Amino acid sequence: MRVFVALVLQRPVSGSGTLKSKESAVNIGSSIEPVVFAVFAVLTLVAGFLVVANPISRNPVTSAMFLVLTILSVAGLFVLLGAFFLAAVQVLVYAGAVIVLFLFVVMVWGGDGVERGKLRKFAMVVGGASLAVFLTLLGGALTGAGQDTKVGLTEGGARSLGELLINRHLLAFELMALMLLAAVIGSVFLGRKDNK
Amino acid sequence: MTVGLNHYLAVSGLLFCIGLAGVLFRRNLLVVYMCIEMMLAAASLALVAFSRFRGDLDGQVLALLVISVAAAEVAVGLALIVAVCRRGLKPTADELAGMKL
Amino acid sequence: MPAIEQLVWGILLLPLISAAGITLFGLRRPRLAGVLSVGAAAGVAVLSLLVFTGTPFGEWWECSAEWLSVGELNVPVALRFDPLSLTMGLIVAWVSFVIHVYSLGYMRGDRGFGRYFAGLSLFLFSMLLIVLAGNLLVLFIGWELVGVSSYLLIGFWYQRPAAADASKKAFLLNRLGDFGFLVGLLLVWSKTGTVDISELECKLALDPGLLGSLATAAGLLIFCGVLGKSAQFPLHVWLPDAMEGPTPVSALIHAATMVAAGVYLLCRVFFLLALPGSAALELIAWVGAFTALLAAVIATQQDDIKRILAYSTLSQLGYMVMAVGASSVSQPPVAAMYHLSTHACFKALLFLGAGSVICAVHHEQNIWRMGALGKKMPVTFVTFLIAALALAGVPPLSGFFSKESILASVLESNVAARHALFAVAVAVAALTGFYMTRLVAVTFFGPERTQIAGQARESGMILTIPLLILAVPSAFAGFWGIDSAYASQFKGAAVEHAGVFGRIAAAFTHSPVATLWGLGAAIVGIVTGLAVYWNAATDRLPEKLGLVAGWARNRFYFDELYAALNEATHEFLSRLADGVDRWVISGIMVRGVHGSIELAGRLLRLTQTGNIQIHAVLLGAGIAILLLIVLRH
């Protein structure tokens, strides 16, 4: 895993952590960016698909592992987009915390991996139809709009994001803190042993 | 060829749909939760892409919030699954039919 | 005539004041009630005589007071004094007066004495309102008031279920007819714009086609009221039941008031019935003839003394209605009014006589439990005999003249089948003779069939004096030229001014065929009656006639038929209402609403499986639909 993170971080490292000039980003992107993007994009989608529908294993642990891969690929895309801090946070929070939590629960409680019951036809049809609608809408929106490549390329380090958070988005920041607190209290409450 | 906003959005949208399909069609609640995480990740990818091509960092701030929400949600959700399991139920979608009228 | 004009309001107000006064103060004070009511009746009798004599022969006048004014409809309380109303009013007033006096004796000691006289006064008031009304609306009010007061009086002994039922029956059947009358009234008003009788007559005289094709309908609708009030077929069934009331009331109803009102109304609006193009009269004639025949046949087999008289009234009313129907513009219904007047006298006398008999035998009404009363009750017997012979049409009593004039008018009428009508009329005359002979022979002659008949005594003065008074017009009214008084009402009728002997001669010379047939029929009826019932111990007729007698005894099962019809209709309507209630209201409306909501609920419930994944699917579908809508527009 560490190797993978390094690999992702290595690509845009050429400009190093802090703010880069727009020109350099464009320069670097122009040569290698499409390849990296293609790799991460394909990796993201394939891994994501394997989370949902792994033809070999239905074990949640397998799904969790592919989720890690998906998250890491997304983090790679973040890096490509210049969101270095977010990429780091993504990896730390998801790969570090969330997946560990998942694995913990899977190991303790839900590890049998059996898909019980059958999905109803109604759900299949409606769900499939709505998915198709989403996909066509997506395709229509993307092909209909013109390519947008050059406008205002920005990069986000920890400093710039932090400044923004405690200035302009202070309220949202505080609310997020409150929400996290609530989540902590909630999960503690739900996890109590005598909570029947 | 240059990588533009639409490419990222396509990846984001596809990932979202994959996640949605998982939510709709998988019955293991843990997997469902993972798929929800995937959808959130797809959303934050789209936000970051918008931020990048728009030229300010607001999108990234929003993505940061999304990640925190996802973390909180996982914490509560997993706690719920634990509570379900404590009751002797399997954490599958079919078992949780308490909302039936 | 200002003096008379002051008086005429008294004619109406006296009985009204009496009725109100008794109701307010006299219900517990019999003496006050009697004095008030009889005083009012006497006052009316005197006033009507004054007005009658005060009005020149053959002339008419009106007086009115403003009353109802709604939009274009102006209805004053108009009183009309013409030969028709004056003569009729005179008879009503005097016969009523006599009956009032008689009631004093007959009702003595009854607990409802005050109530009785209040009803009697109201009855008199309403009948006078009908007779004197100058417009049809006022007449209709009187008409309804007669219905109410008859209800009150027939059901006077309301403790007896039979009386209560009879009063209800009378009232309901009258309402049935009155409804037709009211509709006819509205029809006439809507077509001509007036309900005033003189105005209406003028308008129709100027433009006979004013009512157009509705002339027949208007005539028949008004005749509907007559059907109810004068108890013509098919609404005749109430009249015999009305015998449940006190006997003087029966006399009042059958003689001068109530039933007479129908015939009077027909003559009142005769100009309307006789419009060219109206077929009303012919139908009226046949309804009358049928009623007359039917009632006469039924009367031959009744045992209740009052019921015999009741059916005889029905029969005679049919006679009068037939006479009206057989009339035409060139031959106005003088005969009907003539017979109505003489009939009022002798029928009142018959009823009062019957009341006297009933009192004497301790309220026994079955004639087969009487017998040989003639010697014990001479006054009652003689007066009753006079009236019975008058009814049978024996000369020179009053009934002979009026019946002869009816027969003559039928024979000379324009009705297509006048010979058939005449045959019916003759048959009825014969039957009348027969059943009256039966009544008199069984009641007053023959053996004493029961002990109470043997102990009977003549009634007191207060009962016999009215009998004597009424016997006078019953016997001699034929000589007074009542018909000329009526004839002066109608244009085109010959007004005869003949002496007493002239009138007797005229009866034979005017229309000898009719007279001889009528006389012959009466003689045949009386002789047959004597042959069958003289000294008879039981009724021998049923053995000879068999089925017909049984049918007549049971009144041709009309009551049963109506009851069955009523029941069937009621059943049908109930079932209909039940069906509507059960299937439409309860089924479609209540349960339908409830069912469709429940169905929708069940359908929606299918989606509410409780399965969170289904909810997720639906959530996704909802978002998809929203996106589609939002992005497409």
CB nearest A153 (choices: B26, B55, B92): B55
Query: Interhelix angle for A99-108 vs A60-80, to 10°?
Result: 180
- Using CB atoms, list chains with 3+ pairs below 8 Å to chain A: B, C
Query: Tell me, what's the pLDDT at C337?
Result: 84
pLDDT tens per residue, range C88-98: 888 888 888 88
Give chain B's mean pLDDT.
84
Residue C271 CA to residue C205 CA, distance in Å, equals 8
Q: Of the ranges A88-102, A150-164, C230-244, C278-292, which one carries the lowest mean pLDDT score?
A: A150-164
pLDDT tens per residue, range C482-528: 777 777 776 655 555 556 666 666 666 677 777 888 888 888 888 88
Q: Of the ranges C88-97, C467-476, C606-615, which one carries the lowest mean pLDDT score?
A: C606-615
Residue C258 CA to residue C177 CA, distance in Å, equals 13
Retrieve residue B58's tokens: 């607001």
Strand partners, C399: none
Confidence label for B18 from pLDDT (cuts 50, 70 and 90): very high
Query: Tell me, what's the pLDDT at B101?
Result: 53
Task: Tell me the nearest-neighbour CA distance from B32 into chain C, angstroms.
Answer: 10
Phi and psi, residue C624, nearest 5°? -60, -45
Q: Which of A70-79, B23-32, C352-361, C465-474 has the highest mean pLDDT?
A: A70-79
Within a 10 A sphere around the Cβ of A193, how many other Cβ atoms? 6
* Best to test chain C binding among B24, B33, B35 (most C CBs inside 10 Å): B24
Residues in C whose CB is inside 8 Å of some CB of B read 605, 608-613, 615-617, 620
Task: Tell me the nearest-neighbour CA distance from C602 into chain A, angstroms.
Answer: 17
CB nearest C624 (choices: A122, A134, A140): A134
Task: Tell me the nearest-neighbour CA distance from C605 into chain A, angstroms.
Answer: 14
Query: Tell me, what's the pLDDT at C32?
Result: 82
Q: Of the ranges B94-98, C110-114, C354-358, which one carries the lowest mean pLDDT score?
A: B94-98
| C226, C173 contact by CB (below 8 A) | no
CB contact under 8 A, B4 and A160: no
Q: Which amino acid is at B31?
A: V
What residue of C is the nearest CA neighbor of A141?
C631
CB nearest C608 (choices: B32, B96, B100): B100
E strand map for C471-512: none
What residue of C is the nearest CA neighbor of A135?
C624
CB contact under 8 A, A106 and B58: no
Query: Tell me, what's the pLDDT at B39?
Result: 92
Q: Residue B55, SS3? A: coil
Q: How far is CA C633 from CA A89, C284, C627, C628, C629, in A?
A: 39, 80, 10, 8, 6
Q: Of the ranges A8-17, C39-48, C138-147, which one carries the lowest mean pLDDT score?
A: A8-17
Asked if the model's pLDDT at residue A8 lies above 60, the reply is no
CB contact under 8 A, C617 and A123: yes
Query: Tell me, what's the pLDDT at A17?
Result: 40
Q: What is the mean pLDDT of residues B75-80?
A: 87
Among A110, A128, A20, smallest CA distance to A59 is for A110
Q: Of the ranges A115-119, C228-232, C280-284, which one carries the lowest mean pLDDT score?
A: A115-119
Task: Tell me the nearest-neighbour CA distance from A133 into chain C, angstroms.
Answer: 6
Q: What is the mean pLDDT of residues A58-78?
A: 89
Among B20, B81, A136, smallest CA distance to C619 is for B20
What residue of B is the nearest CA neighbor of C602?
B101
Q: What is the mean pLDDT of residues A142-149?
A: 67
Q: What is the mean pLDDT of residues C392-414?
A: 81
Task: Tell me the nearest-neighbour CA distance from A100 into chain C, angstroms.
Answer: 25
Look at the domain B5-97 and name its fold: Helix Hairpins (1.10.287)
The DSSP letter of residue C587 is I
Within 8 A by CB and 6+ apart from C366, the residues are C303, C304, C305
* Best to test chain C binding among A133, A136, A142 (most C CBs inside 10 Å): A133
CB contact under 8 A, C618 and A119: no
Q: What is the mean pLDDT of residues C614-632?
A: 86
Asked if the model's pLDDT at residue A23 lies above 50, the reply is no
Confidence label for A45 from pLDDT (cuts 50, 70 and 90): very high
Query: Tell me, what's the pLDDT at C103?
Result: 85
Strand partners, C61: C81
Q: Is the ipTM of this complex over 0.95?
A: no
Query: Tell me, what's the pLDDT at B14?
Result: 92
CB nearest A52 (choices: B21, B44, B78): B21
CB contact under 8 A, A51 and B22: yes
Retrieve residue C388's tokens: 């019975």
- Contact of C39 with chain A, judged by CB distance below 8 Å, is answered with no
Query: Tell me, what's the pLDDT at A13?
Result: 40
Give chain C's mean pLDDT.
81
Strand partners, C63: C79
| Cα three-residue angle C102-C309-C297, rounded to 5 degrees | 175
Does residue C511 or residue C401 have the better pLDDT?
A: C401
Task: Tell me the nearest-neighbour CA distance from B101 into chain A, angstroms.
Answer: 18
Q: How far is CA C504 from CA A76, C509, C526, in A?
A: 142, 9, 21
Q: Which chain C residues have a beta carbon less than 8 Å from that of B27?
A: 613
Retrieve residue C5's tokens: 């004009």
Q: What is the mean pLDDT of residues B83-94?
A: 76
Helices (H), C155-279: 161-192, 197-206, 215-229, 238-241, 247-254, 259-268, 270-273
CB nearest C617 (choices: A126, A137, A140): A126
CB nearest A126 (choices: C621, C627, C631): C621
